[in-house]
Amino acid sequence: MQIKALATAVALSAGALLSLPASAQFAKPEDAIKYRQGALFVMGQHFSRLGAMAQGKIPFDAKAAQENADIVAHMAKLPWAGFGPGSEKGAPTKAKEEIWLEPEKFKEHADKLVAESAKLAAATKTGTLEGMKAAFGATANSCKSCHDAYRNK
Amino acid sequence: MQIKALATAVALSAGALLSLPASAQFAKPEDAIKYRQGALFVMGQHFSRLGAMAQGKIPFDAKAAQENADIVAHMAKLPWAGFGPGSEKGAPTKAKEEIWLEPEKFKEHADKLVAESAKLAAATKTGTLEGMKAAFGATANSCKSCHDAYRNK
């Protein structure tokens, strides 16, 4: 079990180094947890504004859509550094242990969000609601599939 | 008092519209507070990695410095939308009420951080520790002066 845990830790570290804009260096697990929750919350707020436009709850505003989508695309790269080895607990968290048991699969979800949100940011540059909608849906599906698999209710 | 509060709210809204990348649209004050705290915490984590390099606690790494400084410069634009009218309370917060009593002065601090962190990101592109240090110090002073004035211990 210890060897398996070590292998998992190494795999996650290697994955992190390949895809993350800044290596994870947290003083304590609580910081990693606060970091990932903060990044996800900030991203979620901007994403929900796009969702309100996509669903017709607020008027479509091309400039605001671009700004929000650009922020989402930037923020999408960040949370994953906060899921490093040893950050399974240390503060209240809804993260399931599967994240640390199958890090490659988790990383696929993270990479998918980064890719979809980049496409969403590109799509909002068309300046039309229709241009944004499909990319928004694909990004939202990426959020949902990861939450379904790796986030407790 | 009501007129003064209204004037303050209008001034803060106008200020926000001028400088923020996305207008503040939070469902409830708690969301605004979580948003600003999350954005500030994420920024602080990346900033502290630059600080560790500037202070010689970890080796200078030009690539990591650039990545962290770019994230700081992006994140520096975000928290201020979370200090809108009505977000004085609703969740635990260290924000002093002066933020809402003198919004123009608070905005000057926010703008200063945005400007200094952009300079810091540019400075890290020199690829040298010395190039980064002065800009890091100026940015750190910007953090500190705002915390001294507007954050409770």
Q: Give Cα B15 to chain centroid, integer Å.
A: 15
Question: What ipTM was predicted for this assembly?
Answer: 0.85
DSSP secondary structure string for all residues of B51-119: HHHHTTSS---HHHHHHHHHHHHHHTTSGGGGG-TT-SSSS---B-THHHHSHHHHHHHHHHHHHHHHH
In this predicted structure, the answer to whether residue B17 has a pLDDT above a threshold of 70 is: no
Token pair 């017709």: residue: A56
The arithmetic mean of pLDDT across residues B1-21, rounded, is: 41
Site from B42, B58, B74 to mutate, A interface, most A CB atoms within 10 angstroms = B42
Question: Tokens at residue B57, please?
Answer: 């606690």
Q: Which of A31, A38, A64 sits opposite B23 (nearest CB)?
A: A64
Residue of B4 and B29 predicted with greater confidence: B29
- Using a 10 angstrom Cβ sphere, with 0-12 exposed, 13-18 middle and 19 or more buried, the burial of residue B92 is exposed
Asked if A37 lies within 8 A of B42 by C-beta distance, the reply is no
Bridge partners of A151, per DSSP, are: A95
**Gap from B151 CA to chain A (nearest CA, Å):** 19
Residue B24 — pLDDT band, cuts 50, 70, 90? low
Domains of chain B: 2-10+25-150 (1.20.120.10)
What separation in angstroms does the CA of B138 have from each of A61, B127, B145?
A: 36, 18, 11
pLDDT > 90 fraction of chain B, expressed in percent and rounded: 84
CB B114 within 8 A of CB B76: yes
Q: Average pLDDT over chain B, rounded to whole?
A: 88
Question: Tokens at residue A31, please?
Answer: 């910081």
Q: What is the pLDDT along chain A (153 residues), one digit of tens a residue?
A: 344 444 444 444 434 433 344 445 799 999 999 999 999 999 999 999 999 999 999 999 999 999 999 999 999 999 999 999 999 999 999 999 999 999 999 999 999 999 999 999 999 999 999 999 999 999 999 999 999 999 999
CA–CA separation, B92 and B110 (whole Å) = 21
